[in-house]
């Protein structure tokens, strides 16, 4: 009697194993396309075409939040989740790709940049500015990485753990977790798989893997949507199960936890600006074969967001009538699939989709930190001419290994902390730095002193609110204003005021970045 | 009015339309399954995509891109 039960319950894990195997195979295939140069390792020799650029950029910007977070937030706050996080992103992400991405790609191609800091150092005529920006970017990326690894571990615990009276999948192996695959093992597997292909093929492998992962998580989201709505009796019957309070944006519930305050809705629009300063996205932009490759990304990005988020928000709304109110947001999708669909094959496929969304961001972040350490610290300090191209690749690979190891250890140590709450703070931090990149690209009068002042002002205000929030968690002021409104404003004001008052950049720099076209 | 100006006006208009305060407490179900607040913003996503189609048509940075790709073209010519 035990054998069929065991066989059925481990099916999701087998499917996840197949997904990881396919991912590795694809990434190892992309290894055969690796040209062995550092430019290929860092920016895929600037050879990625429109479709892969769209998939890798979209996959990178959509983290675990795309499937898990959207469903959970909709379950908690209701229908306003889409306008709050998705439709604004469709407009603003694409604006960043168009206004910032294409310009940075042009300078990257012209002057051979592979990191943001290289661009800023030249634009603001300051080596020191790189040393100010470098730790800030690294510290803002690390919580983002932890969200991925811890999110993956928690997802697998949810799938393999005990359900009611039924024990977890491996009670004889993992007694302490009630039979669930423990976080240390999931974290190790996820980190190792990502490490394997990033180590082998760098940026090109990441682009191939991201394309596969993005297709997987988009398809699995739609599959979950179809099967759940079918089990609920169709779309019309499904929405009838949602709580009426969740179908509007009006604030309600104890402590106003349902709905969206208008000021929050307005100021949340600044958060998607974060993509303008994500270092991992900058690296993806540089992989584009030509500026024309951006066209599909700019147009299709809002549509891809819609394809993923509308079904997930609807699932979250339907779940309000099925799950108890206190259910953690991160567990809503898995629980809804588990309770309504039950089929272990579907559970495995949807879990693979969630992992795909997580891993498509993780790989780019690992790679970008390795690239930044290599180029902005080692090569900057020691001189590029001291190393051969092969040695540069080796240094980058060693850094990637170190970062993966550090992330893995931190994910174990901080496993019980609510790191998901850090996501919005990480995004707010990057968004607060957007005045810097915008001024650097569009204002000849933006100066070195203005750049220093902008970063210091934005980060000081950000840090103040971060501390006020108790180092993470949802936090607003003045009836719903997001702290990013203040930190972004401080960064913009400091850039303008100090640049006006300080010495202008040299004519050589102006000619370099504002060519007479 | 230049193409760029039209795109900027359209983008600002979309930014304002995003704050659909008139839908705040509207729980009407469009097509019997989609709450108005979600339907409106799904349409907003489509409008954003259309805006970027126009932006690419009317405000594509042709000169900047040609300038960036100039050296590459020269190298190709030299190689040939």
Q: What is the ipTM, given to two decimal places?
A: 0.90
CB contact under 8 A, A94 and B42: no
CB contact under 8 A, A298 and B25: no
Domain that holds residue A86: 2-417
Chain A closest-CA separation from residue B10 CA (Å): 11
Tens-digit pLDDT profile for residues B23-55: 999 989 999 999 999 999 999 999 999 999 999
Phi, psi (rounded to 5 degrees) for A402: -60, -45
Q: What is the pLDDT of residue A137?
A: 94
**Residue from A249, A293, A512 to probe the interface with B (highest B Cβ count within 10 Å):** A249
Q: Cβ contacts (< 8 Å) between B63 and chain A: which residues?
A: 517
Residue A86 lies inside a defined structural domain of this protein: yes
CA A285 to each of CA A94, A104, A112, A113, A354: distance values in angstroms, whole numbers, following the listed order: 13, 8, 13, 11, 24
**Is residue A103 packed enough to be buried (19+ CB in 10 Å), middle (13-18) or exposed (0-12)?**
buried
CA count, 13 A, side-chain hemisphere, B28: 9
Q: What is the pLDDT of residue A342?
A: 78
Asked whether the beta carbons of A115 and A279 are under 8 A apart, the reply is yes
Chain A closest-CA separation from residue B79 CA (Å): 18
Distance CA A380, CA A389 (A): 15
Which of A37-51, A488-502, B64-78 has the largest mean confidence?
A488-502
Percentage of chain B lying above the pLDDT 90 cut: 71
The strand pair at B34-35 and B29-30 is best described as: antiparallel
Closest by CA to A48, choosing from A91, A7, A109, A5, is A109
Handedness of CA A257, A65, A400, A428 (dihedral sign): negative
**3-class DSSP state of A288:** strand
> What is A426-486 written as a DSSP string?
HHHHHHHTHHHHHHHHH-TT--HHHHHHHHHHHHHHHHHHHHHTTSSS---BTTTB-THHH
CB contact under 8 A, A106 and B68: yes
CB contact under 8 A, A102 and B61: yes
Q: What is the pLDDT of residue A160?
A: 82
Asked whether the beta carbons of A252 and A245 are under 8 A apart, the reply is yes
Residue A506 lies inside a defined structural domain of this protein: no
Closest CB to A235 among B19, B33, B61: B33
Question: For residue A232, what is the domain's CATH number?
Answer: 1.20.1730.10
The answer to whether residue A133 scores a pLDDT higher than 90 is yes
**What is the count of residue pairs from A and B with beta carbons less than 8 Å apart?**
134
Mean pLDDT, range A106-128, rounded to an integer: 94
Q: What is the pLDDT of residue A418?
A: 66
Percentage of chain A lying above the pLDDT 90 cut: 57
**3-class DSSP state of A71:** helix
Q: Cβ contacts (< 8 Å) between B40 and chain A: which residues?
A: 83
The residues on B that touch A, with CB distances below 8 Å, are 11, 14-15, 18-21, 23-27, 29, 32-35, 37-38, 40-42, 44-46, 48-49, 51-53, 55-56, 61, 63-65, 67-69, 71-72
Q: What is the pLDDT of residue A252?
A: 87
The answer to whether residue B78 scores a pLDDT higher than 70 is no
Cβ neighbours of residue B17 under 8 Å, at least 6 residues apart? B44, B47
Tens-digit pLDDT profile for residues A267-284: 999 999 999 999 999 988
Residue A179 lies inside a defined structural domain of this protein: yes
Q: Cβ contacts (< 8 Å) between A269 and chain B: which residues?
A: 15, 18
The answer to whether residue A89 scores a pLDDT higher than 90 is yes
Q: What is the DSSP letter of A234?
A: S
Residue A463 lies inside a defined structural domain of this protein: no
Phi, psi (rounded to 5 degrees) for A58: -65, -45
Helix and strand tally (H, E) in chain B? 3, 2
Distance CA A164, CA A162 (A): 6
Q: Which residue of A has its CA nearest to B30?
A: A236
Distance CA B22, CA B37 (A): 10
CB contact under 8 A, A88 and B18: yes
pLDDT band at A164 (very low <50, low <70, confident <90, very high): low
Residue A128 sits at the vertex; the CA angle it makes with A122 and A134, to the nearest 5 degrees, is 90
Percentage of chain A lying above the pLDDT 70 cut: 97
Q: What is the pLDDT of residue A420?
A: 65
Q: Which residue of B has its CA nearest to A514?
A: B64
CB contact under 8 A, B52 and A517: no
**Is residue A398 packed enough to be buried (19+ CB in 10 Å), middle (13-18) or exposed (0-12)?**
middle
Q: What is the pLDDT of residue A9?
A: 66
- A403/A176: higher pLDDT: A403
Of A58-62, A130-134, A325-329, least confident by mean pLDDT is: A325-329
Closest CB to B44 among A87, A102, A238: A87
Residue A21 lies inside a defined structural domain of this protein: yes
CA A200 to each of CA A31, A257, B16: distance values in angstroms, whole numbers, following the listed order: 6, 46, 47
Q: Cβ contacts (< 8 Å) between A303 and chain B: which residues?
A: 45-46, 49
pLDDT band at A384 (very low <50, low <70, confident <90, very high): confident
The answer to whether residue A5 scores a pLDDT higher than 50 is no
The answer to whether residue A364 scores a pLDDT higher than 80 is yes
Asked whether the beta carbons of A143 and A425 are under 8 A apart, the reply is yes
Residue A242 lies inside a defined structural domain of this protein: yes
Q: Cβ contacts (< 8 Å) between B56 and chain A: which residues?
A: 98, 295, 298-299
Closest CB to B41 among A82, A94, A106: A82
CB contact under 8 A, B24 and A248: yes
Closest CB to B48 among A90, A238, A310: A90
Closest by CA to A325, choosing from A242, A234, A417, A248, is A242
Mean pLDDT, range A176-186, rounded to an integer: 87
Q: What is the pLDDT of residue B79?
A: 38
Chain A closest-CA separation from residue B43 CA (Å): 9
Residue A212 sits at the vertex; the CA angle it makes with A208 and A217, to the nearest 5 degrees, is 145
Q: Cβ contacts (< 8 Å) between A302 and chain B: which residues?
A: 45-46, 48-49, 52
**Residue from A111, A113, A248 to probe the interface with B (highest B Cβ count within 10 Å):** A248
Q: What is the pLDDT of residue A6?
A: 46
Tens-digit pLDDT profile for residues A22-70: 988 887 788 788 888 998 999 988 889 999 999 999 988 887 777 788 8
Distance CA A284, CA A56 (A): 7
Q: What is the pLDDT of residue B74?
A: 47
Q: What is the pLDDT of residue B72?
A: 61
**Residue from B7, B68, B75 to probe the interface with A (highest A Cβ count within 10 Å):** B68
**Is residue A238 packed enough to be buried (19+ CB in 10 Å), middle (13-18) or exposed (0-12)?**
buried
Residue A429 lies inside a defined structural domain of this protein: no
Closest by CA to A278, choosing from A438, A76, A429, A94, is A429
Domain residues of chain B, as ranges? Answer: 3-79
Chain B closest-CA separation from residue A250 CA (Å): 6
Q: What is the pLDDT of residue A53?
A: 92
CB contact under 8 A, B15 and A262: no
Residue A496 lies inside a defined structural domain of this protein: no
CB contact under 8 A, B51 and A91: yes
Tens-digit pLDDT profile for residues A410-454: 999 988 776 667 788 999 999 999 999 999 999 999 999 999 999
Q: Cβ contacts (< 8 Å) between B41 and chain A: which residues?
A: 82-83, 86-87
- Number of domains chain A contains: 1
């Amino acid at each position: 009697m035990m054998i069929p039960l065991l066989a059925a319950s481990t099916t999701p894990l087998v499917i996840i194993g197949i997904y990881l195997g396919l991912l590795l195979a694809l990434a190892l295939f992309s290894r055969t396309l690796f040209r062995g140069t550092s430019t290929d390792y860092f920016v895929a020799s600037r050879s990625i075409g429109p479709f892969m650029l769209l998939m890798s950029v979209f996959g990178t910007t959509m983290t675990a939040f795309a499937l898990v977070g959207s469903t959970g937030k909709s379950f908690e706050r209701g229908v306003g989740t889409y306008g709050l996080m998705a439709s604004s992103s469709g407009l603003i992400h694409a604006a960043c790709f168009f206004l910032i991405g294409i310009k940075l790609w042009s300078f990257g191609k012209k002057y051979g940049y592979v990191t943001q800091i290289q661009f800023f150092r030249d634009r603001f005529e300051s080596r020191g500015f790189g040393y100010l920006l470098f730790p800030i970017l690294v510290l803002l990326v690390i919580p983002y990485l932890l969200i991925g690894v811890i999110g993956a571990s928690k997802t697998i615990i949810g799938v393999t753990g005990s359900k009611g009276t039924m024990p977890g999948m491996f009670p004889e192996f993992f007694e302490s977790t009630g039979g669930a695959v423990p976080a240390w093992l999931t974290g190790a597997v996820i980190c190792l798989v990502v490490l394997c292909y990033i180590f082998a093929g760098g940026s090109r492998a990441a682009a191939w893997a991201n394309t596969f992962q993005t297709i997987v998580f988009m398809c699995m989201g739609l599959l979950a949507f179809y099967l759940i709505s079918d089990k609920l009796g169709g779309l019309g019957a499904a929405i009838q199960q949602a709580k009426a309070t969740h179908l509007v944006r009006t604030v309600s519930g104890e402590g106003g936890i349902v709905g969206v305050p208008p000021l929050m809705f307005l100021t949340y629009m600044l958060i998607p600006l974060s993509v303008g300063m994500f270092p991992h996205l900058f690296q993806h932009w540089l992989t584009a074969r030509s500026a024309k490759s951006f066209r599909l990304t700019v147009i299709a990005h809002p549509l891809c967001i819609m394809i993923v988020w509308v079904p997930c928000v609807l699932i979250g709304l339907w779940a309000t009538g099925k799950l108890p109110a206190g259910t953690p947001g991160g567990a809503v999708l898995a629980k809804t699939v588990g309770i309504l669909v039950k089929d272990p094959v579907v559970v495995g496929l949807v879990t693979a989709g969630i992992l795909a969304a997580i891993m498509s961001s993780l790989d780019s972040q690992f790679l970008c930190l390795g690239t930044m350490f290599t180029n902005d610290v080692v090569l900057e300090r020691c001189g590029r001419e001291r190393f051969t191209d092969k040695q540069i690749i080796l240094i980058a690979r060693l850094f990637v290994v170190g970062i993966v190891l550090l992330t893995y250890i931190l994910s174990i140590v901080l496993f019980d902390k609510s790191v998901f709450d850090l996501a919005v703070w990480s995004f707010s931090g990057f968004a607060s730095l957007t005045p810097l990149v915008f001024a650097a690209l569009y204002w000849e009068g933006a100066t070195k002193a203005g750049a220093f002042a902008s970063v210091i002002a934005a980060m000081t205000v950000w840090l103040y609110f971060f501390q006020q929030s108790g180092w993470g968690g949802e936090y607003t002021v003045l009836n719903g204003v997001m702290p990013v409104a203040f930190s972004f404003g401080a960064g913009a004001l400091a850039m303008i005021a100090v640049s006006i008052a300080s010495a202008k950049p040299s004519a050589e720099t102006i000619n370099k970045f504002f060519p007479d076209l | 009015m230049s193409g760029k100006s039209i795109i900027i006006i359209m983008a600002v208009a979309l930014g304002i339309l995003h704050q659909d305060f008139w839908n705040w407490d509207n729980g009407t179900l469009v097509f019997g399954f989609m709450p108005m607040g979600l339907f409106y913003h799904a349409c907003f996503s489509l409008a954003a995509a259309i805006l970027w189609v126009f932006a690419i048509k009317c405000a594509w940075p042709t000169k900047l891109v040609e300038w960036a790709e100039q050296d590459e073209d020269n190298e190709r010519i030299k190689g040939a």
